[in-house]
């Protein structure tokens, strides 16, 4: 049985494993009125990743909650707003050990849509805080985001995003975005197994590129690639902000074009 917790109802239990151990995962969904952007992608990922964690949940229950929230909240926020679904294992178990019978909790919250950056590209910087990825948890948007929290303390105010690298200095992702790089003749992005979070916007963008006949190379990104003469653009992508080009990384100016935005429009996925 799924225990749904909404802002107007009972609060989260003090014994919830999501609070105590980060035992859960979440989805952040852009809403357009009552409809959700990338709805099927979010549902598929949450169900699949919950299965990887051993948290039972039905896709139909999550889908119903998106519909209910859309009906209840669209009039409050207007056209654009954000819905967040946090799925935890619930309470129980001894210490780190999971309960024998799992009764997961779904915590539902909402917020205003953040202000989107103006066209022409944004400023980004490299984080000094290294990102580590457990291969058994790679790509899952778990509640364990402390590395991103610590990296975000480095924001000075000018940067739109901070890009995180592993201990070897290879670029993986932003604190809240995935990376897609346009090179001459191909597109490059880090593989899922190297990522802390494999975003649904990343998945959708790669599908659009493949459907349009573009070549995609999934590889670990060395910083030198961003100073290569073949560089055509660096994009930050996530499901709320969509596609954002980077015009400057640190003190280095980067080329900017609108190639990815013209190929990939997430608003066409409204359901």
pLDDT tens column, 131-183 = 999 999 999 999 999 999 999 999 998 999 999 999 999 999 999 999 999 99
Closest-CA residue to 27 (of 2, 63, 56)? 63
Q: Strand, helix or coil at 146?
A: helix
Q: Residue 203 above 90 pLDDT?
A: yes
Which H or E element spans position 45? Answer: helix 39-53
Burial classification of residue 3, based on how many CB atoms lie within 10 Å of its CB (0-12 exposed, 13-18 middle, 19 or more buried): middle
- Per-residue pLDDT at 43: 98
Question: 122-138, pLDDT tens digit by residue?
Answer: 999 999 999 999 999 99
- Per-residue pLDDT at 258: 81
- Per-residue pLDDT at 56: 96
- Per-residue pLDDT at 1: 85
Question: 6-52, pLDDT tens digit by residue?
Answer: 988 778 999 999 999 999 999 999 999 999 999 999 999 999 999 99
Closest-CA residue to 186 (of 129, 122, 135, 231)? 231
- Per-residue pLDDT at 165: 98
Summary mean pLDDT of the chain: 95
From first CA to last CA, the distance across the chain in angstroms is 26
- Taking CA atoms, 264 is separated from 47, 154, 241, 242, 259, in Å, by 25, 31, 13, 9, 9
Which H or E element spans position 126? Answer: strand 122-126
Rg (CA), the chain: 19
Q: Strand, helix or coil at 225?
A: helix
- Per-residue pLDDT at 11: 87
The model's pTM is 0.95
**Strand 35-36 to 161-165 pairing:** unpaired
Q: Residue 78 above 90 pLDDT?
A: no
Find how far residue 225's CA is from the centre of its chain: 24
To which residue do tokens 């890009």 refer? Answer: 163
The 3-class SS string of 57-82 reads: CCHHHHHHHHHHHHHHHHHHHCCEEE
Question: 212-235, pLDDT tens digit by residue?
Answer: 999 999 999 999 999 999 999 999
């Amino acid at each position: 049985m799924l225990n749904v917790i909404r802002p107007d109802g009972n609060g989260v239990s003090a014994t919830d494993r999501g609070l105590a151990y980060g035992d859960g995962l979440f989805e952040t969904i852009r809403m357009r009125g009552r409809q959700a952007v990338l709805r099927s992608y979010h549902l598929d990922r949450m169900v699949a990743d919950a299965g990887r964690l051993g948290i039972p949940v039905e896709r139909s229950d999550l889908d119903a909650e998106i519909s209910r929230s859309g009906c209840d909240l669209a009039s409050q926020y207007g056209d654009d707003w954000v819905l967040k679904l946090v799925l935890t294992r619930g309470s129980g178990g001894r210490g780190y050990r999971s309960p024998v019978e799992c009764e997961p909790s779904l915590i539902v919250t909402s917020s205003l849509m953040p202000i989107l950056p103006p066209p022409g590209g944004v400023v980004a910087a490299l984080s000094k805080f290294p990102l580590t990825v457990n291969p058994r948890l790679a790509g899952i948007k778990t509640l364990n985001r402390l590395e991103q929290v610590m990296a975000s303390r480095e924001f000075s105010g000018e940067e739109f995003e901070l890009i995180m690298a592993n201990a070897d200095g290879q670029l993986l992702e932003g604190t809240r975005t995935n990376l897609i790089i346009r090179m001459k003749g191909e597109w490059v992005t880090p593989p899922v197994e190297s990522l802390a979070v494999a975003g649904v916007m990343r998945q959708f963008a790669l599908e659009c590129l493949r459907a349009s006949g573009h070549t995609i190379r999934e590889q670990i990104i060395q910083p030198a690639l961003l100073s290569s003469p073949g560089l055509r653009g660096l994009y930050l992508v996530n499901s709320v902000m969509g596609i954002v080009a980077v015009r400057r990384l640190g003190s280095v100016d980067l080329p900017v074009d609108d190639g990815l935005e013209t190929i990939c429009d997430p608003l066409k996925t409204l359901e």
